[in-house]
Amino acid sequence: MYNISKQLIDECKSTNNEMYILMFDIDNFKKINDTYGHDIGDKVIIALAKEVLRCTRKSDISARWGGEEFLIMLTDTNKKGAKILAEKIRSKIEALHVNKVKFTVSIGLTSFYCSRDKSIDDTIKRADLALYEAKETGKNKVIYM
C-alpha cells in the first residue's frame, strides 16, 4: 500500500487530481467471532472483501489494513464520486448474509490534500478519525472529514 501510495501521490500532485481514502471496519466484529466462531468471522471477512472488489474499479487500490479493517485508495474521482462509492459499499455490505449472519461497516472518508498532506499517513490518520466518529455516532454510516 505504501509503495503504491507514493506513486499515486506523485501522480495526484503532478496532475492536480483528487485522491480519496476510505477506511472501514466491520461493526461489532468481536461479537461475531465470539458468538459464531472464528471460522464464520473469516467467512465474513472473505465475503466483505469480495463485495468490495465488485464495487470498486480496477484503478482503485483496496487492502486489508489489519484485522477487520480495510483501506481503499480512490484516484480519478471527485468528492461526490467518493461519497457515492462509500455509500454503495456500506449498503451492499449491510445486505450481505454469511451463514445467516448479518453485519455492517462504518466508513471514514477523506481526501488527500496535495497542498498540506506531507505523506499518505496524514490522510490515513484523518480517515481513521472519520471512521472513529462513524463508530461513536451509531455505526453503519459514512463520515467524511
Dist. CA 145–CA 131, nearest whole Å: 9
Dist. CA 39–CA 9, nearest whole Å: 37
Q: How many CB atoms lie within 10 A of CB 16?
A: 7
Which of 18, 51, 68, 94 is flagged as catalytic?
Answer: 68
CA atoms within 13 A on the CB side of 135: 15
DSSP strand E in the chain: where?
19-26, 61-66, 69-75, 97-98, 101-102, 105-112, 142-144
Dist. CA 14–CA 7, nearest whole Å: 11
Look at strands 69-75 and 97-98 and give their pairing: unpaired
18 has catalytic annotation: no
Catalytic machinery residues: 68
